[in-house]
Amino acid sequence: MTVDGSAPDLERIGVKVFCADGSSVPLVEFIPIFHRWIQRRALDGTLIDVADYSHVARGPGILLVAHEGIYSIDEGGGRRGLAYSLRHASGGTLGERLAGVTRAALAACAALAAEPELAGRIGFRGDELALFANDRLLAPNTEATLAAVRGDVRALLARLYPGADCAVTRAPDPGERFALAVKAPGPVSVATLLDRLGA
- What are 50's strand-pairing partners? 64
pLDDT at residue 90 tops 80: no
Lay out the sheet containing 179-183: strands in order across: 47-53, 61-66, 69-74, 81-86, 13-21, 123-133, 179-183, 167-170
Taking the CA atoms of 67, 118, 31 and 20 in sequence, report the sign of the dihedral they define. positive
Contacts of 30-34 spanning 24+ positions with Cβ under 8 A: 30/61, 30/62, 30/73, 30/112, 31/62, 33/112, 33/115, 33/117, 33/118, 34/62, 34/64, 34/71
Position 2 pLDDT exceeds 60: no
Residue of 64, 76, 61 whose CA lies nearest to 32: 64
Instruction: Tell me if the pTM is above 0.85.
Output: yes
Host H or E run for residue 165: none
pLDDT in tens, 94-134: 999 999 999 999 999 999 999 999 988 999 999 999 999 99
pLDDT band at 4 (very low <50, low <70, confident <90, very high): very low
How far is 174 from 37, CA to CA, in rounded Å?
A: 37
Between 4 and 7, whose confidence is greater? 7
